[in-house]
Structure 1
């Protein structure tokens, strides 16, 4: 079963995240099933969840691994929650390809 944590939008993609702040290991850590249905990417970040530091760390990490600038990434929902929806503006095919390449070790492991 293929787990997907994103959906294509008119302006790019929307990514569902379940964030673990103050994580020892930064980056993707698997998938988690959401109570409302669907899957979210479990993402560890080193930053603490205070003063927007965690959200800034999420944006920086995504911009590092996807072909967009930080300005093209925004937290659409869940700014003060571990569950987040993140909008990434850009060309959907390129964003999906880059996301799948970044997540390929997890996708292969959980297949």
Structure 2
């Protein structure tokens, strides 16, 4: 994945980074697929039922970023494929490096 378009999607703030995500639920594995419009496309194994996909994505983002699950929170898109997550305690460059390392 090209780091330049990915970098423009991430927004750093005083707490960490806001990351826009486009979710593909019920996939064979959790993975970063690429860029979908103005969001990072991520496939996850969980179905979009009872918040399972959101919880799975939160856990996956925490794993990629190397932060605790409590440092990752959904800020918009509870029932949508397009979501915004806040990841605390990480810089934009650190998150960019980790996303690139985990992309297909």
Give 1:52's aligned residue: 51
The residue that corresponds to 1:101 in the other structure is 98
Unaligned runs of 5+ in 2: none
- Indicate the residue corresponding to 1:64 in structure 2: 63
**How many residues matched?**
100
Tell me, yes or no, if the aligned pair for 1:65 and 1:99 is still in contact at 8 Å. no
The superposition leaves residues 47-100 of structure 1 with CA deviations (integer Å, 9 ceiling, x where unpaired) of: 00111100100011111111210001100000110000000111325xx32442
Partner of 2:86: 87
Alignment-derived partner of residue 24 in structure 2? 20
1:30 matched to 2:27? The reply is no
- Given that 1:73 and 1:86 are in contact with CA atoms closer than 8 Å, whether structure 2 keeps it comes out as yes
Aligned 1:1-16 pairs, distance under 5 A: 2-4=4-6, 5-16=9-20
* Structure 1 residues not aligned, in runs of 5+: 34-38
Greater CA deviation, 73-82 or 59-68? 59-68
4+ long deviations beyond 3 Å = none
- Report the aligned-residue RMSD: 1.9
Whether the 8 Å contact between 2:46 and 2:53 is mirrored in structure 1 is yes
Q: TM-score, normalised by structure 1?
A: 0.80
